[in-house]
Structure formats: C-alpha cells, structure tokens
Chains A and B, each alone.
Chain A
C-alpha cells in the first residue's frame, strides 16, 4: 500500500531555532500534501494544504511566515517551524493524496513530535 514517511520522528530544540520536518510519499506521487498539528488530547487540526509547485494554502490562524511549507516535488513536502517557541511544541503530521478529487484517500505519515525548550 501507499506509504508516507516523516523525518525526523521526534526533535528537541532550543527556543528561537528553526526546525525542518520532511514528508515523503515513498511509492506514489502525491499531488497534494496536507500538514496537521495535534496538541495533547486534542483532535488533528489542518494547518495547510500544499500542491507541488505552488504556494501552500494556510488555514485561518496559521502564520505562514512561521510555518514555511515547501512542496518541491511530487514526493516531498517540508514544513519548517521558524524561530520555534515552547508553544509550538506539538505533534506534526503530514498526509498525502494521490488524486485531485475530494474522495481520494489521504495516506498519513507517522508524525513528528516537536519539543521546544
């Protein structure tokens, strides 16, 4: 089946530093990738949608200058948390969709746990 990987699986960083998280579709080309954030005991919340070769679309309340998304190829999207602060500590999850229609399955990555000290 379709596999999505994320790297790193966990990261601890100091406040003020930037952290890059990679999301790769291993055996398929993903036209669309999604980035989610999950705080403890909360639901997943969509942060942004990215399509290869175009700018990401951010959800209301998500700072695009803080959460930089690059979707350089059909198999790779990156999320960079810039100038991270403790309140950015969360579980970040990506998913990838094969097709363009709204009914296509999203394949989820295993997630990246970010802890900002």
Chain B
C-alpha cells in the first residue's frame, strides 16, 4: 500500500513569496492529485498529473515518476491562497482508491 509524506506540515509566508510544497510516495503510480482544502472544509481538485509539469494561473505542479516525488509551487502568493494543500495517490498501481497526505497548512500574511 502506498504511503504519502508531505512537507512541510505548516508553512507561513509573506504575500508575494514563492511557495513550494513537497510530496513523496512509496509505490509507483500512474497519476498524482493535488487538492486544496479551504478553512470551511470544501475540497477543490487543483491538478492531476502523471508526468512533467502542469500550470494553472499562479499554480505549478511537477512530478518526477522515477524519484516518486511531486512539488506544488505557488508564485506571487496571496492571502487568499491560505488553505491546506493535500496530495493524493492511488493506494496501489492502477487503483481508483486514493490515499491522502496529511496536508500542508499554508498561511499567507499580507
């Protein structure tokens, strides 16, 4: 069964700072998910990626399949980016079931 580690657990940044959140997993996968959970609890899917890099606005996600590692970057961070960021991977290769990291709580101060 896949195990997911995220770092850091907590991150405080000043507005406009460049943010990096890391995710490592133990078993080879076909795709990895990055999710955002706001203080109210609602979850938004940010990215699903299986290789290389994806970009959406100020968010960039990269994945290195060989190293079993992914990063989520936020450029020009803003207080509204404050949320918990969670990475999720299949429990095992080809599975629909996901296992989730514990999340990184990001606080961006004005």
Contacts and interface: CB of A to CB of B under 8 A. Distances in A.
Interface of A: 32, 34, 38, 42-46, 49, 91, 93, 97, 101-111, 113
Interface stretch (B12-20, B37-45, B67-75): B37-45
Contacts of A46: 97-99
A74 to B, nearest CB: 16
Contacts of A104: 96
B41 A49 contact: no
Contacts, number: 58
A102 B90 contact: yes
B30 A103 contact: yes
Nearest to B48: A105
Contact of B42 (A97, A105, A110): A110
| Interface range, B side | 20 to 34
Contacts of B30: 102-103
A110 B35 contact: no
Interface in B88-109: 88, 90, 93-103
A106 B89 CA distance: 11
